[in-house]
Structure 1
């Protein structure tokens, strides 16, 4: 890993890599619904697999770094929070769907999950 990146705390390194990974994942999973709508499903699947490669190239190191200090449950909840933080702008800005109050309620539920998973951390 790049030396300056290793100066960040483990949770920050993990969050940065998971966020970048999640951008690729979101486009791999949902981007084809807008950009490849008129193409055959196997074309969309092939493009999605290509995008997903970059997701895995970031996600695997993120989880390996995070697992040195975080539990698997903490890593999973961190990933889910990041997923929501990436997905909402994607839906509104790229997919051109309206902002919904339900996104706020989902975020509040995720805050509860963060509290319960991280509350006993020393």
Structure 2
């Protein structure tokens, strides 16, 4: 997998993973709002259709990122992005209330970022 030489690998990976996470968040949760009155298998088919686009971004992101990051670093980066995408999705799209638990979860993930990216 080739990467764009003028954009640092970590940024390429972050941008692709962020875009893929937007698709995956919608694939996993939007059916709870939009297809709640339909059979589960229709929601599953719609989710799989959305998830295809997630995979078209996620696979190259991880291949590019793995050229400079460890597997653990890629996973923690993905978790940070997941929370960063999920909180606005929950608040603005799903109309969920803001909870202090989002902050605590974010702080825990920041701790994970510190430990996984610190020098050996």
Normalised TM-score (structure 1) = 0.94
Does structure 2 conserve the Cα–Cα contact (< 8 Å) formed by 1:91 and 1:97?
Answer: yes
Does structure 2 conserve the Cα–Cα contact (< 8 Å) formed by 1:92 and 1:98?
Answer: yes
SS in 2 for 1:39: coil
Look up the match of 1:91: 90
Hey, what's the Cα distance between the residues in 1 that align with 2:34 and 2:6? 39
**Alpha-carbon deviation of 1:6?**
4.0
Hey, what's the Cα distance between the residues in 2 that align with 1:54 and 1:7? 25
Look up the match of 1:116: 115
Hey, what's the Cα distance between the residues in 1 that align with 2:2 and 2:66? 19
SS in 2 for 1:62: helix
Does structure 2 conserve the Cα–Cα contact (< 8 Å) formed by 1:74 and 1:118?
Answer: yes
Q: Matched residue pairs, number?
A: 120
Gaps of 5+ in 1: none
Task: Give every structure 1 segment of 4 or more consecutive aligned residues whose post-TM-superposition deviation is greater than 3 Å.
Answer: none
SS in 2 for 1:69: coil
Does structure 2 conserve the Cα–Cα contact (< 8 Å) formed by 1:6 and 1:13?
Answer: no
Gaps of 5+ in 2: none
How big is the alpha-carbon RMSD for the aligned residues of Structure 1 and Structure 2? 1.5
